[in-house]
């Protein structure tokens, strides 16, 4: 089955800096790659997703890049703010079943 | 709020108890999911229902029994659980059983003593 590796497991940045989280996947047939943000006491919430026919997608301060040849994708958050502090999960899928990474705990310090 | 509610939010039960988790979605979606979230592990897909029909049972022990009476409600019936079943149980829904955004509820924090 699909195996998704996510790094780093923890990330601390200063407010205003950029944060990058990287994921690799094993199933070359995967074609849908969502990123979820989970705040304390809440369920994961989709922040951005990308499909395999696109190499990059941007939404305000958040961007995702996909390299299908290397089977890795990354989340980029620019101009980080304290409210960006949360756990971020990547996932890869070729069906309805999402295969998640273990998560990255991001801390943005003022 | 995401439009997916779960009750109870916290549950403590003994190994011999029987309890149920409830999920309700107000989004008009046709697919619903149960996930297990344990510390230091990826979210694990447990069950998938599409139009009230179970389409996936991801090798989950029989002490977990799902029920989907209609497209808006999903239950997870629990009996004779083990301490290692303690985790956050998340319900999600999506428009259909395709590559679509899944909307998650806040989860039920389960502790098995």
The encoded tokens of residue A10 equal: 């923890």
Query: Are the CB atoms for A100 and A35 separated by under 8 Å?
Result: no
pLDDT exceeds cutoff 90 at A45: yes
- B43 vs A44: CB contact, 8 Å cut-off? yes
Residue pLDDT, tens place only, B30-43 = 999 999 999 888 99
Quick check: A98 and B107 CB within 8 A?
Answer: no
Tokens representing residue A17 in the block: 């800096």
Say yes or no for a CB contact (<8 Å) between A43 and B90.
yes
Q: Where are the alpha helices (DSSP H) in chain B?
A: none
Q: Per-residue pLDDT tens for A60-82?
A: 999 999 999 999 999 999 999 99
Interface of A with B (CB under 8 A): 4, 31-32, 34, 36, 41-46, 49, 51, 89, 93, 95-103
Contact assessment for residue A56 and residue A66, using Cβ atoms and an 8 Å cutoff? yes
Q: What's the pLDDT score for residue A17?
A: 98
Query: CA-CA distance, A98 to B3, in Å (whole number)?
Result: 20
CA A14 to chain B, closest CA, distance in angstroms equals 25
DSSP state, A79?
S
CB pairs under 8 A between A and B: 51
Nearest to B14 by CA among B80, B76, B97: B80
- Name the burial class of residue B53, with classes exposed (0-12), middle (13-18) and buried (19+) by CB atoms within 10 angstroms of its CB: exposed
What are B33's two structure tokens? 């999911």
For residue B98, what pLDDT is reported?
80
B43–A98 C-beta distance less than 8 A = yes
Element (H, E) at B103: strand B103-104
- Predicted local distance difference test score (pLDDT) of residue B95: 92
Helix (H, G, I), strand (E, B) or coil at B41: coil
d(CA B109, CA A83): 24
């Amino acid at each position: 089955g699909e195996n998704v590796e996510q790094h780093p497991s923890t990330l601390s940045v200063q407010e205003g800096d950029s944060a990058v989280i990287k994921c690799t996947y094993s199933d070359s047939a995967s074609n849908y790659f969502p990123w979820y943000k989970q705040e304390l006491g809440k369920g994961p919430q989709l922040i951005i997703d990308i499909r395999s026919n696109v190499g990059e997608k941007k939404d305000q301060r958040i961007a995702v890049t996909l390299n299908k040849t290397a089977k890795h994708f990354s989340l980029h958050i620019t101009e980080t703010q304290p409210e960006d502090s949360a756990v971020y999960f990547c996932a890869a899928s070729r069906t309805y079943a999402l295969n998640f990474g273990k998560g990255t705990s991001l801390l943005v310090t003022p | 709020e995401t439009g997916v509610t779960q009750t109870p939010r916290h549950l403590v039960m003994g190994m011999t108890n029987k309890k149920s988790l409830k999920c309700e979605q107000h989004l008009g979606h046709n697919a619903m999911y149960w996930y297990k979230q344990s510390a230091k592990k990826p979210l694990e897909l447990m069950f998938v229902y599409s139009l009230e029909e179970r389409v996936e049972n991801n090798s989950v022990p029989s002490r977990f029994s799902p029920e989907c009476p209609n497209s808006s409600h999903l239950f997870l019936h629990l009996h004779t659980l083990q301490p290692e079943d303690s985790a956050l149980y998340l319900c999600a829904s999506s428009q259909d059983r395709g590559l679509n955004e899944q909307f998650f509820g806040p989860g039920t924090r389960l502790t098995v003593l």
